[in-house]
Structure 1
Amino acid sequence: MTTAATPRSLEHPTRAEIRLEGVLHALADPVRLQVVRELAAAEDELSCSYFDLPVTKSTTTHHFRVLRESGVIRQTYRGTAKMNGIRRDDLEALFPGLLAGVLAAADAEAARPSGT
């Protein structure tokens, strides 16, 4: 059962509702993967406004919604800011090593010279 949203909260899937295909779909998009990589490198939650993404504001909102609805991130309001954090414990419990493997592969790909 999905957690119901109140005026200042957002719906998130429960751990049991997180599906592998949804997580993989969310991580397959380069913009969403960039968001997850930046969140993984951060020591704390980051606000949506922290990210400098090469898309419009409405498209950015869409990408965050896909990440949240797939169970990759948790979003909470802190004042007027929407804060984002990776659901590491849930992802690791459901799919051991998946997030670490995807992040390592993304880092390796980013380090490759272009065209290789």
Structure 2
Amino acid sequence: MRTYPTPPVDELELHRILFALSDPTRLAMVTELSSSGELSVGEQLSGEVPKSTLSHHNKILRESGLTASRPEGTRCYISLREDDLERRFPGLLRTLLSHVTVRHITS
């Protein structure tokens, strides 16, 4: 079974999280996960972004510690690590997402 490692909570780094959120597509992905919960890769952004681009952005989000990936059969499910992020950086994600008003996607 394929695994998707993520950094432990105590190794989450603010500069990596902010870098991951600096891209409009990744910010839209995190916003969508925040409101929807876990999504399969195929459900993310409803086909607005090519699959290869989504894969690249998911890797950056996962490696920064913002998301976790869970394989199930032939699908991969992505979820936001809200509890871990809240423990490491209290209020950060909630504050950042509360200021997102426009969903702008660029591939």
For this structure pair, what is the TM-score category when the shorter chain's length is used for normalisation? 0.7 to 0.9
Is residue 2:88 matched to residue 1:94?
yes
Q: After TM superposition, give the deviation of residue 37 of structure 1 in Å.
A: 0.6
Instruction: Please tell me the residue identity of whatever aligns with 1:87.
Output: R
Does 1:29 pair with 2:36? no
Q: Shift of residue 110 of structure 1?
A: 2.2
Could you tell me the TM-score, scaled by structure 2's length?
0.88
**Structure 1 residue ranges without an equivalent (≥5):** 1-6, 112-116
Number of aligned residue pairs: 102
For 2:42 and 2:49, the matched residues in 1 are separated by 13
Q: Gapped runs of 5+ residues in structure 2?
A: none
**Is residue 2:53 matched to residue 1:59?**
yes
Alignment match, 1:110 = 102
- Computed over aligned residues only, the root mean square deviation of the Cα atoms, in angstroms, reads 1.5
Shift of 1:24: 0.5
The TM-score, its normalising length taken from structure 1, stands at 0.81
How far, CA to CA, are the matches of 1:74 and 1:97 in structure 2?
A: 19
- Separation (CA, whole Å) in 2 of partners of 1:13 and 1:101: 22
Identity of aligned residues (%): 40
Answering whether residue 61 of structure 2 is matched by residue 79 of structure 1, we say no
Kindly state the Cα deviation for residue 53 of structure 1 after the two structures are TM-superposed. 5.2
Counterpart of 1:114?
A: none
Q: Does 1:39 align with 2:33?
A: yes
Measure how far apart 1:38 and its partner are: 0.6
Mapped contact 1:31–1:53 kept (Cα < 8 A)? no
Q: Name segments (4+ residues, structure 1) moved above 6 Å.
A: none
Which protein has greater RCO, CA pairs closer than 8 Å, 6+ apart?
A: 2
